């Protein structure tokens, strides 16, 4: 499909919804030279692409943008804002971590991030900041709580040593959540086995 928008030539390509992704409208524009942009348009994702972009480069970048937009949309629908995640983390600390260490543990902030594609969570103990991969948006709460618990334990113990694992054992659903995360990673990797990993260890990338 071809058209003209405000004096600029455009062509559209439509990719039907599949594999959990919504319908994608790829709109090539002679006005764009290097960068791509994407936004929700109804139930579809509209991606603006430079007219002369190579197909191989286009396909990779389009899918990355679509995944980023749909994760952002899901995050807004989930209602789990940074403030809510931080309150949730503090409740977990009070219930399961502070009784074991004997002093307050105070996460300063917990937020979703879109650029954390190789691990489920990460933590900066010096600042009390925790980041969760927004790939987990839509996961069961007990799975997200397990990743949160893992990072909260790092506020007390930076390494994956014996004390760390003893602290983590005080939280519920640990084995169940690890099984869920490993099963999910196995599925997205196309059924390729990988070594056992911690939630904040780098994960095998899926193609």
pLDDT at 203: 44
Tens digits of residue pLDDT in 19-67: 777 888 888 888 777 788 888 888 888 888 888 788 877 888 888 888 8
pLDDT at 204 over 70: no
pLDDT at 105: 95
Same domain, yes or no, for 19 and 72?
yes
Q: At what angle do helices 141-154 and 174-188 cross, to 10 degrees?
A: 110
Same domain, yes or no, for 43 and 123?
no
The three-state secondary structure class of 86 is helix
pLDDT at 2: 42
How far is it, in rounded angstroms, from Cα 169 to Cα 165?
Answer: 6
Mean pLDDT over 76-89 rounds to 80
pLDDT at 206 over 60: no
Tens digits of residue pLDDT in 90-131: 999 999 999 999 999 999 999 988 888 789 999 999 999 999
pLDDT interval class at 78 (50, 70, 90): low
User: Roughly how many angstroms between the first and final C-alpha of the chain, as a whole number?
Assistant: 30
pLDDT interval class at 8 (50, 70, 90): low
Same domain, yes or no, for 72 and 98?
no
**Cα atoms found within 13 Å of the Cα of residue 54, Cβ hemisphere only:** 3
Same domain, yes or no, for 87 and 181?
yes
84 phi-psi bin (left φ>0, alpha ψ -120 to 50, beta other): alpha
Strands 129-133 and 121-124: antiparallel
Task: Give a yes or no: residue 197 inside a domain.
Answer: no
Task: Give a yes or no: residue 169 inside a domain.
Answer: yes
pLDDT at 61: 85
Task: Give a yes or no: residue 73 inside a domain.
Answer: yes
Instruction: Provide the residue range defining the domain that includes 88.
Output: 82-188
Same domain, yes or no, for 92 and 152?
yes
pLDDT at 40: 81
Same domain, yes or no, for 116 and 68?
no
Same domain, yes or no, for 95 and 131?
yes
The verdict on pTM exceeding 0.85 is: no
* Number of domains into which the chain is organized: 2
The better pLDDT of the pair 79, 13 is held by 13
Same domain, yes or no, for 70 and 92?
no
Alpha helix positions (H), the chain: 55-78, 82-92, 98-101, 141-154, 162-168, 174-188
């Amino acid at each position: 499909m071809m058209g003209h928008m405000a004096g600029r030539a455009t062509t559209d390509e439509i990719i039907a919804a599949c594999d959990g992704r919504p319908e994608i409208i790829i709109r090539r524009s002679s006005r764009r030279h290097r960068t791509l942009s994407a936004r929700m348009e109804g139930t579809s994702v509209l991606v603006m692409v430079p007219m002369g972009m190579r197909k191989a480069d286009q396909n990779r970048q389009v899918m990355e943008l679509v995944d980023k937009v749909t994760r952002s949309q899901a995050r807004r629908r989930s209602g789990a804002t940074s403030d809510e995640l931080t309150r949730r983390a503090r409740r977990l600390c009070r219930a399961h971590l502070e009784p074991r260490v004997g002093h307050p543990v105070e996460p300063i902030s917990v937020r979703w991030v879109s650029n954390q594609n190789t691990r489920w969570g990460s933590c900066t103990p010096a600042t009390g900041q925790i980041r969760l991969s927004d790939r987990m948006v839509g996961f069961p709460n007990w799975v997200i709580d397990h990743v949160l618990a893992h990072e909260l334990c790092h506020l007390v113990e930076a390494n994956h040593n014996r004390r760390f694992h003893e602290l983590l054992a005080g939280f519920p659903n640990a084995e169940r959540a690890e099984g869920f995360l490993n099963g999910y990673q196995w599925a997205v990797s196309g059924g390729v086995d990988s070594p056992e990993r911690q939630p904040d260890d780098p994960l095998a990338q899926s193609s």
